[in-house]
Each structure stands twice: as structure tokens, then as C-alpha cells.
Chain A
């Protein structure tokens, strides 16, 4: 019986890929385990092996095709004597449903995957936070890479160190190409030893360099947190202002998809609690580029919290090579009048999706992207709350001691008389991240929950 070969998911967050090359042609016999194609994910080019044996009856997706969704039939294998017409028709409906099930975060974060650059308005959310001037479309991943490359070109003391940043070209391909341009002196592959290389990074910052320390994910920064806090954040104060730690700790933070409790945690509120650190959490590619350049130039230790799911998403970014975003300046992603949604990082995607839903019901939500969590732009938040009189915060982290808790308390103390309803905090659930797709979906914050929260504060 004929068998469909489906586009495989080759990473936890892969939603689609490019069929780079077929290594077989129609009529070829294929053995189980034989490499039949090369598939390019957003991170790497992977070899794809056949599972079943048979003859290639038909190639359904030509090589070079980009944006092939996971689980799309890409070829049909037939048994001896069969023809392709014996094969079942590709069940497009079923495939689409299956594709929607695979990466749980697609359901949790219903931002459409952007297969190719599209104008901003097609994505549905006008971005009002960019300066005047020409822009180009780029992914968050490209924006981060470009920010590092530009700053490394400008300042010879800036260097990147971390696991797989060099020869492997980055576990998430953020540092792709940097080794070629800057060499092994400035793009330093480390052993798997977070505490050690974080400490070496801090020491190097005291010795006159500006290190960018990449954690493969911030989950592993727990191994190194003593150096981030006790060594980097406190030294300027403990030395009476003589010496500080001009450096950046960066990497993906928060939930990816289906990687379970130890690899899915948002540390925003943890690091934002520490005086002496600055903390960034970009949402868009423009945030990523503008904030990372500011972070590298900043004379203080900066914790730069990225998000793996956002890496592949495209946004408009100013072309201007001097484009930076100052710390402590929130952006208004969507103006509104009835309620203020305050978020940061991937939470902005949920807040924007909720705002879109709410607009259909006649509720006008203003969406604020904090961009930096230390310092926090209280003024923008308070001005908005004084206008809308209602506030809902949106973040992926745990509820206890969340950024939302802190904002709620600040708003209560500084804008109590303006509030028409209690501030509601939408957060991840108070549980370790489960692996099961359905449970993971429940554990994460969703736009639907934000919509419910907004209706509650609007008494609707």
C-alpha cells in the first residue's frame, strides 16, 4: 500500500521549513534509514531519513519550496507494482488539523506563523512604536545577530562566549556567521559549564572587556545565577563605584514548546528584582535589535531575556544602523481607551491577540510593551491607566511575585483614585510546566484568558 511521507518537525518549535533538496527522484527505491532529503529549519539544515521502504512514486513538494508546514505530505512511496493513483488522496483537512495540534504553542499563542515577509498591516496589528524612516522586514533572530555583529564591528572589546556559539553556529542560530567574521578570539565556544564561564565572563568585564555571555537557555542560568547576582550586579556598589561589570547575559527565556518543566520557565521577575542589574525582554525584532545594541553599550550588567518562539517571527526594523532603544522606555503597541494591557516579551503577542478580539466586542484596549523590566517605565503605564482607569497585566511567568504583582501594587499606590476596577494579573499557572500538549496549553497564559480578565475589569 502506498505511504505518504510527511514534512517532519525537526525541533520543538518548528512549524514549517524549506525543502532544500531531494536526494532521491521518482522511481528510486528507498530503504528504511536512507537519507532522502535535506530540510532547512529556522535553525539548521537537517538530513531527513525515510522510515518506510518502497519506491518513490511521486514527489509532491519540489525542492526549494519554502514555508512547507509540518505534516504536509511531501512525497508518496509505493510498493512494487503499485502506482501513485493507488495512494490515498492527501487529506488536506486532516493534515491541517494535525499541524495545528503539533506545536502546542501555536494554540497558546495564536499569532500566525509568517511564512514570508508581509507588510505589517497584513499581520493585523499596526505597530506604532517605530521611529520615522525606512524599515526592513527581519526576524527576531536576524535582528539579534545584526545587533551583535554591528556592536562587535564598532567595539573590539565586545566578544561573545557560550555553548555552541561558534563552530556550531549557535544552538538557535543567533550567532550564525559570527565566527566567520570575527574569528575564534571573539566568538568563544565554551564547554558545558555555565557557572564557570559566567564567572569568567564577569572577570573579563572587570579586566576591560565587554562580554556577551550566551546561555543556551536561561534555564541553565540557574547554574550561574551566583555570578549574575553576587559577582556582576553588586560589584559596582560594593566597590564604592570603582568598578562595575559592563556585560550582557543573553539567551532564550520562558517556555518553548513541549520541553517540560526544567526547560520552560520565565525568569523575568527573578532578575527584575535585583538592584544593579538591568533587564530587557524584547517582543519584536525592532525591540530585539534596538535593545540589544543598547545593552551591549551599557556600562552595567544586563540580563537580556529572549524567546525561542519569537526567534522566527518577522517584524519591521528601522534600517538606520544607529537605531537603538533606550532602557526604561515602554512602547505603545496599540492605542486604546477602555483598558490598559501591560505586557513584555511574548506576552505582547497574547495581549495584542486579546486586544484584537476585544475590539470586535467594542472594547478598546491599549497595549503597552514594557521592553525593559529594570528600569520599568512606570510613567507610561500610569499615564495609560489614568486614561483608561482599568489595567490587566499579561506575562508568562509564575503568579507569585510576578511583574504584574509589582505593577498592581505600584498602580494602587500611585493611581488608586483613577482605578474603576482592581488590577488583574494574567500569568502562567502556578505549576511546573507539564509535558503533555493539552496540559502545557492550560499552563500557559492565553489570549482567551486575557479577554476574560479584561471583561471582568470592564464589568462585562
Chain B
């Protein structure tokens, strides 16, 4: 696993509670999405983010207004972390007019121009040059925004990732490549797909610095994110963060995950869970009482239930929507 950072960044109670709340929202939201999928309210492919919550929450903590993000189809967590409304996300999952894409995108294709979330992409690896293109625009326009371009260990074997590395470094684009290494590309483990398993190291061939980060530790993620962001904003070009993380559920709802043992999953859940980690920091450090945390749990549960009710009640898009939004 990833190395621990040398020193803990100073962190306030408020910040810890914020991370706890945000990670918990993603987890409860995803659990609810899984439930709605089981009830037939969500169709098609649905990829849950459970286990990986610290990655997006930590990196969002390192971002500023105007920064952009783009990812693959395992995208619900990214949307919630950047401040998109749980109701709009859940209603998109149920294919309703109240969804971010009016029900026309679905779980894998969702966007929020307002929150600078540029998808939600169904094609593995395609979001990598797209993210670099967003960074290209920022550099062209002369602002100091950065783009977080997320992709998985599976996408890391796509050729276009390296085409993008080459151009991003050549043109010093302000893009942070975030490899969410959850160790399985669908059913194929990293070890079964490559002999070069230290994925961030591949950027060195293009001159891009990077590092491996404990992606289960939100504080380590935030610290690494801040370092990468500083590098980018200073005009030094791209940076790679390889987040060592783990997804608890199958690749999608229809994946029985027979390619790994139950023991392996349980071990991570017990020893590395990102939410338990922050809960421990809060309670053992005497920063928050059980009551305070219970109140947060309750508050999150209410948000998620409300989003599910909204997603059930929001009507399906009217038939006329079939023919809109094809051309601007």
C-alpha cells in the first residue's frame, strides 16, 4: 500500500467534520442508489463509489472556485463532492426530468457547467485528453485554474492517456492527473494487466512528476492535492497523483466480484476504511462526541432519503425531450 505522509497536516475539528460529512453523504447516497437499482428504479449500468470516498473529498478540499473536474462513469462521488445537488444526481439515475441531464444522460453521463463538472464519461480513458483540453482553455484564457482529471487503473493502459501526458507536459497544461487505483479494472487486477504496476511512474517518461498517495486517508489526499495544485498553478505543468484506493462493491451492479476474496474486501473495510478513519480521529482526539456524529448521520440520511423521494417523484422527461438538445 501507499506510504503514509511524514507528518500529519494540521487539521481543525471543522475540517474533519466537513470531510466526515461529505464522505458519509457519498457512501449513504451510493447505498441508496444500489437499493433503488435493486428495485428497478435505476437501470442500465450503475457503478458505485463506495470505499473510494476519501479521494474526491480530499482533492476537493485542495481546490478553489473555478477549478474543473472530469472523470469516468464511476462519477457519483465526484459530483456530490464538488457540490452538485444530491436530488439532481439521484433523479438522473432514475431517468427523470429533475436530473442534471433531464434524464437523458444517466449514471454515466452527467454534467454541471455551474459546478465545473465536465462528466461523467462512458468511454474508458477518453476523459483524459478532455481534461487536458479544459486545462488548455484555462491556460489560453490566462487564468490560474486547474483541472482534476480522474481515471482508473484500467484506463491507465489506454494509449490516449500517454498521448495526453506528452502534450500536457509539452504545453505545461495546468492539469492534475488523478489515477484512482482501486486495483481492479472491472475483473482484471493491476497485476494481471501490466508489469509496470507503479502507475504514476509512467509519467516520468514524459517529464511529469507524480507520487503515490494513500487514497484511503483523506488528510493524505488533501496534502498531496495541495502540493499538486501549487505545482500546476505556478505554471509548472501537469502533476500525477496515484491514489491507492479500493472499491467495496463490484465493478457495476451486475458484477459478483468473484475475482477477489471476501477476506480481501473485509480486511480493507476493517483496517483502511476512510470514513472510520476520520471518525476515529474525531472521537479518539476528543474533537466530537458520539452524539454529534450521530446527528450528522441523521442529517445525511435525511438528505439521501429526500433525494430518493425526489428521484421517484420527479416525472419522466416529456416525449418532446427526445428531440431537444441535439443542436445548440
A and B: partners? yes
Q: Please give me the residue from chain B that is nearest to A192 by CB atom.
A: B163
B129–A276 CB distance below 8 A: no
A238–B109 CB distance below 8 A: yes
CA distance A240 to B170 in the complex (A): 35
A185–B140 CB distance below 8 A: yes
- Also in contact, A196 and B164, with CB within 8 A (given A207-B68, A238-B109, A276-B327): yes
B39–chain A nearest beta-carbon distance, Å: 24
A187–chain B nearest beta-carbon distance, Å: 12
B123–A230 CB distance below 8 A: yes
CA distance A442 to B258 in the complex (A): 57
B104–A240 CB distance below 8 A: yes
Instruction: Tell me the residues in window 236-273 of chain A with beta carbons closer than 8 Å to chain B beta carbons.
Output: 236-244, 246
List chain A residues, Cβ under 8 A from B19: none
CA distance A102 to B47 in the complex (A): 59
List chain A residues, Cβ under 8 A from B159: 195
Q: In the complex, how many residues of chain B place their beta carbon closer than 8 angstroms to a beta carbon of chain A? A: 47
List chain A residues, Cβ under 8 A from B113: 239, 242-243
B328–A246 CB distance below 8 A: yes
* B246: Cβ under 8 A from any A Cβ: no
CA distance A195 to B328 in the complex (A): 25
* B141: Cβ under 8 A from any A Cβ: yes
B326–A197 CB distance below 8 A: no
B126–A239 CB distance below 8 A: no
Interface centre among A193, A204, A278 (most CB of B within 10 A): A204
Q: Please give me the residue from chain A that is nearest to B97 by CB atom.
A: A240
B166–A193 CB distance below 8 A: yes
Instruction: Tell me the residues in window 189-219 of chain A with beta carbons closer than 8 Å to chain B beta carbons.
Output: 190-191, 193, 195-209
* A226: Cβ under 8 A from any B Cβ: yes
A237–B133 CB distance below 8 A: no
B119–A191 CB distance below 8 A: no
Interface string of B105-149 (1 = CB under 8 A from A): 100011111000011111100101111111111101100000000
B106–chain A nearest beta-carbon distance, Å: 8
Q: Which of B111, B135, B167, B170 contacts A239 (CB 8 A)?
A: B111
Instruction: Tell me the residues in window 171-205 of chain B with beta carbons closer than 8 Å to chain A beta carbons.
Output: 171
Q: Which of B102, B120, B164 contacts A241 (CB 8 A)?
A: B102
Interface centre among B103, B128, B138, B328 (most CB of A within 10 A): B328
* A227: Cβ under 8 A from any B Cβ: yes
Q: Please give me the residue from chain B that is nearest to A186 by CB atom.
A: B140
List chain A residues, Cβ under 8 A from B99: 240
CA distance A207 to B171 in the complex (A): 16
- Also in contact, A203 and B104, with CB within 8 A (given A195-B163, A230-B122, A241-B324): no
Counting chain A residues whose Cβ lies within 8 A of the other chain, the interface size class is: 35 or more
Q: Please give me the residue from chain B that is nearest to A200 by CB atom.
A: B133
* A231: Cβ under 8 A from any B Cβ: yes
List chain A residues, Cβ under 8 A from B110: 238-239
Q: Which of B70, B101, B166 contacts A242 (CB 8 A)?
A: B101
Q: Please give me the residue from chain B that is nearest to A193 by CB atom.
A: B163
B326–A207 CB distance below 8 A: no
* B157: Cβ under 8 A from any A Cβ: no
A191–B166 CB distance below 8 A: yes
B129–A196 CB distance below 8 A: yes
* A299: Cβ under 8 A from any B Cβ: yes
B65–chain A nearest beta-carbon distance, Å: 15
CA distance A238 to B160 in the complex (A): 22
* B14: Cβ under 8 A from any A Cβ: no
CA distance A340 to B197 in the complex (A): 63
* B29: Cβ under 8 A from any A Cβ: no
- Also in contact, A193 and B133, with CB within 8 A (given A204-B140, A238-B111, A241-B324): no
A203–B133 CB distance below 8 A: yes
Q: Which of B126, B167, B325 contacts A193 (CB 8 A)?
A: B167
- Also in contact, A196 and B167, with CB within 8 A (given A236-B328, A242-B112): yes
B121–chain A nearest beta-carbon distance, Å: 8
B328–A203 CB distance below 8 A: no
* B239: Cβ under 8 A from any A Cβ: no
- Also in contact, A203 and B101, with CB within 8 A (given A193-B166, A196-B166, A242-B111): no
Q: Please give me the residue from chain A that is nearest to B108 by CB atom.
A: A238
A200–B136 CB distance below 8 A: yes
CA distance A384 to B68 in the complex (A): 51
A198–B129 CB distance below 8 A: yes
CA distance A64 to B129 in the complex (A): 47
A238–B138 CB distance below 8 A: no
Q: Please give me the residue from chain A that is nearest to B325 by CB atom.
A: A241
Interface string of B50-74 (1 = CB under 8 A from A): 0000000000000000001010000
* A300: Cβ under 8 A from any B Cβ: yes
CA distance A278 to B133 in the complex (A): 21
* B248: Cβ under 8 A from any A Cβ: no
CA distance A406 to B227 in the complex (A): 56
Instruction: Tell me the residues in window 306-364 of chain A with beta carbons closer than 8 Å to chain B beta carbons.
Output: none
CA distance A190 to B133 in the complex (A): 13
A204–B137 CB distance below 8 A: yes
A314–chain B nearest beta-carbon distance, Å: 34
* B20: Cβ under 8 A from any A Cβ: no
List chain A residues, Cβ under 8 A from B70: 203
List chain B residues, Cβ under 8 A from A246: 328
B164–A208 CB distance below 8 A: no
A-B contact pairs, 9 of them (CB 8 A): A190-B167, A191-B167, A191-B170, A193-B163, A196-B167, A200-B164, A203-B135, A206-B130, A230-B122
Contact residues of B with A, CB < 8 Å? Answer: 68, 70, 99-105, 109-113, 118-123, 126, 128-138, 140-141, 159-160, 163-164, 166-167, 170-171, 324-328
The 6 tightest CB contacts between A and B, nearest first, are A203-B133, A207-B137, A199-B129, A196-B163, A240-B102, A240-B101
